[in-house]
Each structure stands twice: as structure tokens, then as C-alpha cells.
Structure 1
Amino acid sequence: MTSPQRTKTGSVPRRERGGAKEARGPQGPRGPKPGPARDDGPQRIAKLLARAGIASRRNVERMIADGRVALNGDVLTTPATILTDLAGVTVDGKPVAKPEAARLFRYYKPPSTLTAERDPKGRPTIYDRLPPGLPRLIPVGRLDFMTEGLLLLTNDGELKRQLELPSTGVVRRYRARAFGEVTQQQLEDLSEGVEIEGIRYGSIDANLERRTGRNCWIEMALAEGKNREVRRVLAYLGLQVSRLIRTDYGPLTLEGLDTGDVAEVPREALFVFRKSLRGGRKPVGE
């Protein structure tokens, strides 16, 4: 079997064409220009806790239902509680710190790790492998247990939500090593979308990068990111994936990262990225 070559910086190269077309990713109409956000004033506690990086809004609502969130010592019973700040709010008995400015990190997730805080089965998670000294971080989306590559981490639940929304149109790029026979035409047909077991997958831009015997490397670009989408689509084509690497998330790449490495996205680059999102909003405080 062959494996992807690495540059001197340790990143997986963007293209190894081998004569096939270059994958450019799904294209779509531009949304409205980003406008200023109105995140001042009273807000639901779930949103405030998400901004503070405690968890996503949905998970905060679960924490409130489980009685883990209190205000001035009184356990909250509804996520509809409206507050102007987090003064007096505790989670699991611990005061919640004032939200910091949004930060975003690139992480080269190793294979055989879960994108979760803990696993009842005792399998390793990304938090077991992250280097020390980082702030409290939550993942943007997920990569499954065996998938490796670019995983974004943030301290801001609202940034997490913004980057995950399908409406923002962020293109994710993958490289898959697979066993089996497939033609470039079959891959190009994926641009029309495909339905598998009742689930509709949108346009995928796929490129047959190279073939060695019955093994091949395939590049894929998609904007939806449904659960295990790449693996399911390739299995539908009769391919068995032996390695799957996410190389890009929007303009962010694995450049300069080896397996297990973390690097913070510069503040200006994060600002530009957020402004570029379809239907996105200008970051608070910028």
C-alpha cells in the first residue's frame, strides 16, 4: 500500500494529480454580506454559557435539565432563563469565568481517538492526547474514531455553532485511501448528489488522485459533513476505506502540523474567516 507523501513542514500535500481533474469543492451562491451582531443585552443562559466555552447550546440545555447549573445557589430548571451576564452562575458547583475573546486552534487528530470528552468503553479521546497548557476547548464538529486529520477546537460555543452550520457553506476536504475499483466518471457523478439508504447527500467534488494496483487515493470536497459521509459514499461505490484524512476546513489546512500537533489560528486570520462565511456575522467585539 502507498501512503501520502509529506512536505518538509509535515503536512499532507493538497494535490497529487496523476492526470485527473483538480478537485475544487462544491460551489454555491454567495449569501448576504456579514453584518454586525447584536449580542449585547439580556440573553438566554444557554447562549451565554456557550459563549463562555462551557459547551454547545444543546449540551448546556442538557446540563440544565440534569440540574448541573445554578444561579446564586439555586438550581436552574429551564434554559429559557434570561441574564445579562454570568455573575453568580455555577456549573457543577464551580463559578463560570467571564467569556474570553474567541480563539480557534488547528489540531491534527490522530486515528483511533474519539472526538469526545470521555468514553464509557474506555477508548482514548482527543482530550487524552491534547498537549498540556491549552485553555478549555470544544471541538468544531467531529471526526470518527479512525479518521485522522484537521479538527478545529475553540473556546467559544457560538463560534463552534457558526462554523458547523450547513448554511455557512464551509468546504471540508478529505483524502481517502481505498481498496477496490472506481472510475473518475463514477466520482464525477457524485457532483449531482446521491441517496443512500434514504439519506440524501449533497454535491461532492471527487477526484481520483492516483492508483496502485487495487488501492487508490481519492480527494473529496463537500460542504455538508453528515455523519460518516465520506465513508458511506465510498462504500456505496464498492470501495473499502483503509485510511481517511481531513486536510482542509475552509481556508484552514494541516500545513505545518504533524500527528497530535496543535496550532492557534492567528486572530486576524480568524476574523477574516468568520467574515467570509455565507450568512455569517461579524464577530462580537471586533
Structure 2
Amino acid sequence: MAQDKENRERLQKVLAQAGVASRRHAEQLILEGRVSVNGVKIPALGHKVGTEDYIEVDGKPVQRSEKLHYYLLNKPVSVITSVNDPQGRPTVIDLMKEVPVRVYPVGRLDYDTSGALLLTNDGELAHRLMHPSYGVEKTYRVWVQGPVGISALDNLRQGVLLEDGNTAPAIVERVVCGVLKKSTEKSKSDRLEILEVTIHEGRNRQVRRMFAAVGYPVLKLERVRFGSLSQGNTLRPGAYRALTKEEIQELRTKAGL
């Protein structure tokens, strides 16, 4: 019996790990009387549950995973970062069919953006990694028609005014400046420049909007790093791998867990 007690965890933590909500939001759900265990509503914090307990939120069963899973996916373009899509387009979950448990994407990469995407069933870690207060950095490789002027680079580095407010300062580095297309004149409009930009915010289509705001619409966008995770050259588009114990611990440390 003592062993059973040792294996029991606080209800709000279990809800967070199941991806129902962040731990703070889970606490609010409990206080609002929306959570029940084995058919009994739990009106206060402090309740602990074991693997044998049946949990419901708003009358719907909570699917619990006995083991937490973490995967890094190299998301291809033309794939939706979603669990399902009403329009029937392929989703990142379609690429993860052989994973033994249901995992969820951490943050988003838009339809035309490729690169590093974390998927997990660790709801609490996912919530923290997406929250700007933890400052998780994301690095993108950006293809634009260049060359990009010094003033535009300075604006990106200092913060760009968008319709939803100023962005935080970004780290921007030039990577390659070459020929975009065959041309006899090799005018400025025929130059392709590749830059790497690192941000810690997660606004919708933020990198694309930042570059458009300084006069350089993005031609191609790839996320090459998420926090401490880098896909490197090991993952082809659509492929994924499990995270190592060291990578998981580094992410959890960054998220204050």
C-alpha cells in the first residue's frame, strides 16, 4: 500500500502531462469543479491519483500515457502542423503513425515552412516551451532576394514594428549570397541571399512578417534549430527520431522542470 502511495501524483500534474492544459490552468479546472476522479468531483487542490484512477474533465475521459515520448521531426513543406485538418491536407500526425502513443506538436510551423518540430505527449513541457517567458530560442534559415541592406539588418536586430506590436531583438547573420536565377545582367534582383535569424517569440508567421516589413519577402523558410535541438543533416524531410535522455533533460531544464 505504501508503494501505491509513492506512485501517486497530484491531479493537476497528471492533467498537464496528459496535455489537457498547463498545470496552472488544470488547477483552475479543478477549482471550478470540472474534474472528477472515479466519478467523484474533486473540488479542491491537493488530490493525488494513481494509474488505476479514472479521470474526467467536463464529463470526457482523460487519455493518460504511462510513458512520456519525445520526437524531433523534420517537417516538410505542404504539411499542416495540426492533429487534423478539415480540408484533408496531410498533417504532421500523419507522418508519425508508427509512434506507439499519441503525440502533439509543440508550437507551429506554417504550411510553407519546413524544419525542426518537436512532438511529445508531455503537456506540461510543451506548454512551457511555447511560453515566451522561458525564452526558448528558434533559429530559421531564410532565403530572400538580396542583397539585404545594412539598414534592414539593423531593423531586424533591433526589433520590427508589426501590426501586433514590436518584435523583440533578433540575432541575424548572413550565410550565403549567390545567384538566384540565370541572368545575363546579374542585376540586384537576381541575387539570392540566405540568412539565419534567431528569435525567442512565437507569433504567427513572425519571421515572414518581419522580413516583409523591412522590404525582403521570404522565398523559402526552414527552421534549423528549436532550443537545443538541431535536425542537422541526419533527418530527411518527413523523417523523425526519438530524443536522447540528454536532449530531454536539457529541454526540461530550460523549461524550469
Using the size of structure 1 for normalisation, the TM-score is 0.69
CA displacement at 1:56 relative to structure 2: 5.6
1 CA distance for matches of 2:74 and 2:60? 33
Q: 2:105 matched to 1:139?
A: yes
Q: 1:110 aligns with which of 56, 63, 76?
A: 76
Counterpart residue identity of residue 226, structure 2: Y
2 CA distance for matches of 1:122 and 1:236? 32
Q: 2:49 matched to 1:85?
A: yes
CA displacement at 1:203 relative to structure 2: 0.7
Q: CA 1:106/1:112 → structure 2, altered by over 3 Å: closer, same or farther? A: same
DSSP 3-state at the match of 2:16? helix
Q: 2:209 matched to 1:232?
A: yes
Relative contact order, higher structure (CA 8 A, sep 6+)? 1
2 CA distance for matches of 1:224 and 1:265? 23
CA contact (8 A) 2:228 2:247 kept: no
Counterpart residue identity of residue 145, structure 2: F
- Unaligned runs of 5+ residues in structure 1 are 1-39
- Size of the aligned set, in residue pairs, is 233
After superposition, the C-alpha distances for 1:230-264 in whole angstroms (9 at most, x for unaligned) are 00001112122221100001221012111011111
Counterpart residue identity of residue 196, structure 2: E
CA contact (8 A) 1:51 1:99 kept: no
CA contact (8 A) 2:19 2:121 kept: yes
Comparing 178-187 with 238-247, greater Cα deviation is found at 178-187
Give runs of aligned pairs for residues 78-227 of structure 1, distance below 5 A.
83-85=47-49, 87-90=53-56, 96-97=63-64, 99-100=66-67, 102-211=68-177, 212=179, 213-227=190-204
Q: CA 1:199/1:264 → structure 2, altered by over 3 Å: closer, same or farther? A: same
Q: CA 1:133/1:196 → structure 2, altered by over 3 Å: closer, same or farther? A: closer
DSSP 3-state at the match of 1:125? coil
Counterpart residue identity of residue 258, structure 1: R
2 CA distance for matches of 1:272 and 1:126? 24
1 CA distance for matches of 2:150 and 2:250? 35
2 CA distance for matches of 1:134 and 1:274? 22
1 CA distance for matches of 2:71 and 2:16? 17
After superposition, the C-alpha distances for 1:77-121 in whole angstroms (9 at most, x for unaligned) are 99x776412612147865633542x43211101111111111222
Q: Which residue of 2 aligns with 1:261?
A: 239
DSSP 3-state at the match of 2:49? coil
1 CA distance for matches of 2:90 and 2:26? 24
2 CA distance for matches of 1:83 and 1:204? 43
Q: Which residue of 2 aligns with 1:8?
A: none
Comparing 139-148 with 266-275, greater Cα deviation is found at 266-275
CA displacement at 1:145 relative to structure 2: 1.2
Q: 2:250 aligns with which of 264, 268, 272?
A: 272
CA RMSD of the aligned region, Å? 3.2
1 CA distance for matches of 2:152 and 2:74? 30
Larger Rg: 2
2 CA distance for matches of 1:58 and 1:112? 35
After superposition, the C-alpha distances for 1:147-202 in whole angstroms (9 at most, x for unaligned) are 11000011110110121221222211000112355224421332211212242100
CA contact (8 A) 1:53 1:155 kept: yes
CA contact (8 A) 1:194 1:201 kept: yes
Q: Which residue of 2 aligns with 1:9?
A: none
